[in-house]
Amino acid sequence: MKNNNWWRDAVIYQVYPRSFADSDGDGIGDIPGITSRLDYLHDLGVDAIWISPFYDSPLHDGGYDVTDYREVDPRLGTIADVDELIAQAHKRDIRVIMDIVPNHTSSEHEWFQEVLRSERGSAAWDRYMIRPGKGADHAEPPNNWKSVFHGGGWSRLKSPDGSPTDFWYLHLFDSTQPDLNWQNPEVRAEFRDILRFWFDRGIDGFRIDVAHGMVKEEGLPDFDYDDTEPALLGDAPHAPFWDQDGVHEIFREWRLVADEYTPPRIFCGETWVPSPERLARYQRPDELHTSFNFDYLTANWESKTLQKSIDDTIANHEIVGAPPTWVLSNHDVHRHASRLAPVDEAGDRDLHRGLRRARALTLFTMSLPGSMYIYQGEELGLPEVFDLPDEARQDPLWFRSNHTDIGRDGCRVPLPWSGTSPSYGFGPTSHSWLPQPAQWAELSVEAQQGQDGSTLEFYREALRIRKASTALGGGDLKWLDHVGDVLAFTRTSADGSSIISVLNLNNDVVHLPIEWGRTALIASSDDIAFLKTEGSGEFLAVGPETAVWLTQ
């Protein structure tokens, strides 16, 4: 744990705590559950875990609606459990990153409750984005902003007796998630204090929720939606509520707090911004250490888009001296094993090819310079669960869209660990807060452990090679010329060792020059062969939708 630069090329595993491992059998994953599985994470070969929020919360948005930032949801454990988790993780050389939610609180947070009890002009009102409504009787919202979760972005404030006031509060997400006013010094001081509270307990860093949305444009002007809904996590360009220059000042203040510690604590921003150039601004030397790179995630299975995203991201990060990050799945998007699956005319997904592509793109991604995030369960090749029963759904997107948007529950189904019946080892009982598909028995950790060719063993091996290699992680990247839909580059370390990483996006075999490498360190499928023909001599055949790492 000595290396202060660990985050520059780390592999970080995202734990969605309610769905990871349940220690007490109530069907909800918890902190002791995570601690009990640290050996698994250590064997997988990750450097750190990022845990989605486990604070006290009424769970209107899976814990991203916080009532108390210094308390643990009693269903998930206690502060003492978190202390134990940190200690046990550190013992295994695994760093712990928490999730901070500064854009909004829960409407059940004491600060918002104080708003409901007080009048205009009170200190409480100034902590939130509260404005008078428009129209003669103030019955219209202050501007046209929409909620990312469907519907309007403003709700009318009620008086203690339940009658409507003339005022409205902003919520870019659910109406139970009022946006904070980051121009208010008290809000700023409070969050610096919350950072210290957890840093003092020994956590290694924070992922920052909606980092790009905390500051809103002066005057709150209407947004020209121009027929575009604000996409789930806000990639709308130049919206007056995203990516405002004022956010950078907050992160400079936060960086000073992180740097007070030894070793310095780190940040990773959730930053849905319009371009790699805008993204890199968050990683200037006195701001965040890293940010999520969603441009790459949304490139999916398009070689040109992938290559452009890689080039732009690396070039822009070089300017600010920061490492890029790469991620393919998280708790907000459809799992990439399903997202990448070809869909036929009838709308059916070819999940076999989806997993094949997912393994290939994952291996390729692991060879990029910088750090990489893995979302729990992707190492098992879990698909998205699209067909959850309606009554099980919990995502506010489902409710706010009048049951037309199935939202994100399908990537949050509890993990299968072992056995052939529910909850597949998720906990000691058959309960799981979202039902797991019966086919997941075959995908459990137990079923894949030690099985040649299983997705779990494939991830373990790839991460082992990545860690052992000086060429991957840090190191230089140089594209190789290729024919057809093939992406290939050489990674070279300062000590001169090199690895060639190849991604064949074709649905056909491609033949590559033997000079690219005579040894396959690892491939995402069995379809790799070093061949020799009379006419064309030696070459390497790489099967359809397959990635490989080569060395001489």
Determine if 292 is a binding residue for ligand NOJ (CB under 6 A).
no
Q: How many residues bind ligand NOJ (CB under 6 A)?
A: 11
Helices 351-366/455-468 angle, 10° precision: 10
Active-site residue (options: 22, 47, 73, 209): 209
Q: Closer to ligand NOJ at the Cβ: 16 or 549?
A: 16
Give min distance, CB of 328 to ligand NOJ, in A: 15
DSSP class of 471: S
Determine if 235 is a binding residue for ligand NOJ (CB under 6 A).
no
- Residue from 210, 236, 337, 441 touching ligand NOJ (CB under 6 A): that is 210
Q: Closer to ligand NOJ at the Cβ: 171 or 188?
A: 171
Contact between 291 and 209 (Cβ < 8 Å):
no
Contact between 109 and 61 (Cβ < 8 Å):
no
Residues facing residue 486 across a β-bridge? 504
Give min distance, CB of 173 to ligand NOJ, in A: 5
Q: Closer to ligand NOJ at the Cβ: 73 or 332?
A: 332
Q: Closer to ligand NOJ at the Cβ: 332 or 378?
A: 332
Amino acid, res. 91: K
Residue ranges in 331-360 that form contacts with ligand NOJ under rule CB under 6 A? 331-332
Q: Closer to ligand NOJ at the Cβ: 207 or 466?
A: 207
In 84-126, DSSP assigns E strands to: 95-100
Residue ranges in 21-60 that form contacts with ligand NOJ under rule CB under 6 A? none
Please identify, among the stretches 34-42, 61-69, 81-89, 245-253, the one whose residues bind ligand NOJ according to the rule CB under 6 A: 61-69
Give min distance, CB of 62 to ligand NOJ, in A: 6
Give min distance, CB of 396 to ligand NOJ, in A: 7
Active-site residue (options: 83, 119, 260, 348): 260
Determine if 241 is a binding residue for ligand NOJ (CB under 6 A).
no
Residue ranges in 307-336 that form contacts with ligand NOJ under rule CB under 6 A? 331-332
Q: Which of 384, 296, 387 is nearest to 335 (CA)?
A: 384
Q: Which of 486, 485, 484, 541 is nearest to 517 (CA)?
A: 541
Give min distance, CB of 233 to ligand NOJ, in A: 6
Q: Please report the sign of the dihedral spanned by the C-alpha atoms of residue 368, residue 464, residue 544, residue 341.
A: negative
Give the chain's radius of gyration (CA, Å): 24
Q: Which of 8, 36, 29 is nearest to 92 (CA)?
A: 36
Determine if 179 is a binding residue for ligand NOJ (CB under 6 A).
no
Catalytic residue list contains 515: no
d(CA 209, CA 269): 7
Catalytic residue list contains 260: yes
List b or e across 120-154, with b for residues whose CB sees 16 or more CB atoms inside 10 angstroms: eeeebbbbbbbbebeeeebeebbbebbbbbbbebb
Residues facing residue 206 across a β-bridge? 98, 267
Q: Which of 169, 74, 187, 75 is nearest to 129 (CA)?
A: 169
Q: Which of 479, 545, 549 is nearest to 509 (CA)?
A: 545
List b or e across 472-499, with b for residues whose CB sees 16 or more CB atoms inside 10 angstroms: bbbbebeeeebeebbbbbbbbbeeeebb
Q: Closer to ligand NOJ at the Cβ: 433 or 489?
A: 433
Residue ranges in 79-118 that form contacts with ligand NOJ under rule CB under 6 A? 101
- Residue from 22, 47, 56, 209 touching ligand NOJ (CB under 6 A): that is 209
- Residue from 20, 64, 111, 398 touching ligand NOJ (CB under 6 A): that is 64
- Residue from 54, 145, 167, 173 touching ligand NOJ (CB under 6 A): that is 173
d(CA 46, CA 464): 9
Stretch 122-161: interaction string toward ligand NOJ, x if CB under 6 A:
----------------------------------------
Q: Closer to ligand NOJ at the Cβ: 129 or 210?
A: 210
Contact between 5 and 94 (Cβ < 8 Å):
no
List b or e across 201-214, with b for residues whose CB sees 16 or more CB atoms inside 10 angstroms: eebbbbbbbbbbbb
- Residue from 30, 47, 61, 384 touching ligand NOJ (CB under 6 A): that is 61
Q: Closer to ligand NOJ at the Cβ: 61 or 235?
A: 61
Residues facing residue 51 across a β-bridge? 15
Stretch 242-281: interaction string toward ligand NOJ, x if CB under 6 A:
----------------------------x-----------
Name all contacts of 114-118 with Cβ < 8 Å and 24+ positions apart: 115/157, 115/169, 115/178, 116/157, 116/158, 116/160, 117/160
**Where does this chain bind ligand NOJ (CB under 6 A)?**
61-62, 64, 101, 173, 209-210, 233, 270, 331-332
Residues serving a catalytic function are 209, 260
